[in-house]
A and B are shown apart, each in its own frame.
Chain A
Amino acid sequence: MSLQQWESLGTYLNWLFGNMFGEAQPHMHFWMLSIIICVSAFGVVTVRNLIHAAMLMSLTFVGVAGIFILLNAEFLAAVQVFIYAGAIVVLVIFAIMLSENITGKKMVVHNRQSLAAMTVSIVMALTMIGILLYDLDGYFEGPWRWWVTPDRNPFPPEDNSVMIGNSLFSTYTLAFWIASIILMIAMIGSLIIARADSDDHETHTERLIPNGEESAKE
């Protein structure tokens, strides 16, 4: 390839990956979040232990919440963390534990990883404390700039949740109502589906009958 072709290839790669190979790296946050999301999502679909898969899924959802913050959708990021990383992962773990022979072996509850867990949580605490102190003092200046600075204004002038609330309760009110009805139907339906079978129900009611009546019936 000639020099001109190499230059055009470099221009194309810079366009494709957003100046990833340039000197200034403006999209570091996006790339870190992308790597976290893709690696953990690949773990979700390949890991054998389903509990590990659920934990990796939680990590994926937190990464997607970071992507939402990069896109100036703070309310959606909070909703993502609450609903996905909180509720749905807990629901999945409950379902895994309710059907316990999924992995073919009994669930291991005891803890052999307390040292690793302690290391991870201590490093996490030091990192968060460091970032907090750093931002309070230096306001995104200094050697950690590439780490803490988002690529947009960290405090946007208009409030994202106010915007979403206005439009959700004016333009999209009908969709809001329909979504609430769908949620109620799904709640009732899942309760009915996941209830015990009719056999279990009968044995349960028989157990409730006092002994005298049961013997009289027999």
Chain B
Amino acid sequence: MSYIDTPVPIHLYIGLGTVLFCIGLFGVLARRNAIAILMALELMFNACNIVLVAFCQRHGITFTLQAFSRAQDIESPVGQIFAIFVITIAAAEAAVGLALAIAAYRHFKSINMDDINLLKW
């Protein structure tokens, strides 16, 4: 049994992505600090990226043949492109979110999410 003959089955990647996503979800729901919540959000983005790239590696060619007539011969990197855009948006989100956290800290002298309830009700 050589290594090339037995690639890792895709449901293992999906399971890893699910576990990572749920860990991040737990962090978003359970943490009280704004920066910690942002860090857990980054974990969730990474879980999405893992699943996207895994599906791209298994099913990318089929998707390309169905969707785009010009790119018939190449192996399609659609999922990897999606992952690149997810990374881009995550970087923008991290910048804006951390700026918001710093502004909230400057205003409320705290970034405990329980203290920031001006917009509640």
Contacts and interface: CB of A to CB of B under 8 A. Distances in A.
Given A67-B16, A190-B95, A164 B84 contact: yes
Interface residues of A, number: 74
A70 B8 contact: yes
A176 B116 CA distance: 36
B98 A92 contact: yes
B3 A150 contact: yes
B92 interface: yes
Contacts of A152: 3-4, 7
Nearest to B74: A163
A177 B87 CA distance: 15
Contacts of B78: 167
Given A41-B24, A84-B46, A152-B4, A193 B57 contact: no
Contacts of B83: 73, 76
A99 B111 contact: yes
Contacts of A13: none
B61 interface: no
Contacts of A44: 23, 27, 39-40, 43
B113 interface: no
A48 to B, nearest CB: 10
A42 B71 contact: no
B68 A151 contact: no
Given A41-B43, A44-B43, A71 B13 contact: yes
Given A30-B8, A102-B35, A183 B53 contact: no
B119 interface: no
Nearest to A38: B19
B83 to A, nearest CB: 6
B12 A88 contact: no
Contacts of A131: none
Interface stretch (A16-24, A107-115, A204-212): A16-24
Interface in A156-207: 158, 160, 163-164, 166-168, 170-172, 175, 179, 182-183, 185-187, 189-191, 193-194, 196-197
Interface of B: 1, 3-4, 6-9, 11-13, 16, 19-20, 23-24, 26-27, 30-31, 33, 35-36, 38-40, 42-43, 46, 49-50, 53-54, 56-57, 68, 70-71, 74-78, 80-81, 83-85, 87-96, 98-103, 105-107, 111
Interface of A: 15-19, 24, 26-27, 30, 34, 37-38, 41-42, 44-45, 50, 53-54, 57, 60-61, 64, 67-68, 70-73, 75-76, 79-80, 83-84, 87-88, 91-92, 94-96, 98-99, 102, 149-153, 158, 160, 163-164, 166-168, 170-172, 175, 179, 182-183, 185-187, 189-191, 193-194, 196-197
